[in-house]
Amino acid sequence: MSEKTIAFIGAGNMAEALIRGLIAAKTGHIIATDVRPDRLEQLRKAYGVETSTDNAVAAAKVDIIVLAVKPQQMSAVLAGLKSVVGRVTSRGETDGSHAASGDAAYKKSSPLILSIAAGVTTSRIERELGGEPRVVRTMPNTPALVGASAAAICKGRFATDADLDTAETILKAVGIVVRTDEQHLDAVTALSGSGPAYIFYMAEAMIAAGIEAGLPAEVAKRLAVQTVFGAGALLAASGESPEELRKKVTSPGGTTEAALKVKIERGFAKIVADAMHAAARRSRELSGG
Ligand SMILES: NC(=O)c1ccc[n+]([C@@H]2O[C@H](COP(=O)([O-])OP(=O)(O)OC[C@H]3O[C@@H](n4cnc5c(N)ncnc54)[C@H](OP(=O)(O)O)[C@@H]3O)[C@@H](O)[C@H]2O)c1
């Protein structure tokens, strides 16, 4: 993996998180592309990566193309990459038209396409690129920015298990990775994709309630942030289930029990489930399903 070349098409927040993780893990040679030269200059200075404003030229040079633009920018990007990857089959064969036309962007072996765009299906990418592109789709989340992402990956029709291994190596640079079928990606989006916002919203509510109870705003904020961080770290490190850890801190007749009783009576678990169903429904709508 370390000798592979990777092009990031779109050098925004998620691309930067992955680039930072890959550089730290000394994995692969990286080229970043973007429509904004100032953004590329930033990344070049910060990470020493190669940069280009030409997606097709960058894509033609690499083993792995990471699609890291917004979903609404995807069709334009795929149209621009078609000449590079679209006519190359998963076995690295071509229909001959590029060789015949002497297309400078033509590349003999087929690059792996890794898409991080929410709601863009592998079949849509395959269709818009044409040919038999090897596509792996992932749903990471924003804690990737601090190396703590939870990502699910799934493969399209022409990708192989080795392609999943490659995608997993890239995404492991910024967190954990699970493998799933694409049919579960809406549920993944509802759980871990949108999940950080659920926790942020809870932190907001805890801060507001702390202030209402008389704490200075800064004190409420620091305590809430560290409580969310500490609870997450304990949950991840202890190997115990959330239920076990909850029971450990809930003494009969104590303060935590009084708080949880209100949550249970008011249907907290049902609110979380309804919210996640709404997110999964929206994810299906956005991906045209
Ligand atoms: N952020 C999340 O929580 C999260 C989680 C999971 C997945 N994702 C997915 O990750 C992807 C990237 O998200 P992000 O937050 O990193 O977005 P972002 O910060 O907007 O990054 C996208 C970058 O691509 C540039 N761009 C636009 N058109 C381009 C083109 N034709 N060629 C090359 N670059 C182009 C954009 O420039 P302009 O700003 O000028 O358009 C921007 O710099 C999205 O598809 C999103 O669904 C995000």
Atom of ligand 1 nearest to the CA of 118: 47
Instruction: List pLDDT tens digits, range 3-38.
Output: 789 999 999 999 999 999 999 888 889 999 999 999
pLDDT value, residue 286: 85
Instruction: List pLDDT tens digits, range 66-124.
Output: 999 999 999 999 999 998 885 554 444 444 444 433 343 443 468 999 999 998 999 99
Instruction: Report the candidate in 128, 130, 12, 40 with the shortest Cα–Cα distance to residue 76.
Output: 128
Instruction: List pLDDT tens digits, range 187-223.
Output: 999 999 999 999 999 999 999 999 999 999 999 999 9
Alpha-carbon span 162 to 179, nearest angstrom? 13
- Taken in order of first residue, the domains within the chain and their CATH numbers are 5-185 (3.40.50.720), 195-286 (1.10.3730.10)
Instruction: List pLDDT tens digits, range 250-268.
Output: 999 999 999 999 999 999 9
Alpha-carbon span 103 to 86, nearest angstrom? 13
DSSP H/E element including 74: helix 74-81
pLDDT value, residue 289: 61
> Confidence class of residue 287 from pLDDT cuts 50, 70 and 90?
confident
Termini Cα distance of the chain:
35
User: Tokens 């680039």 map to which residue?
Assistant: 19
Binding pocket residue ranges, ligand 1, CB within 6 Å = 9-15, 33-36, 39, 55, 68-71, 73, 76-77, 116-118, 139-142, 193
Using most ligand atoms within 8 A of CB, pick from 73, 82, 142, 170 the residue to mutate for ligand 1. Answer: 73
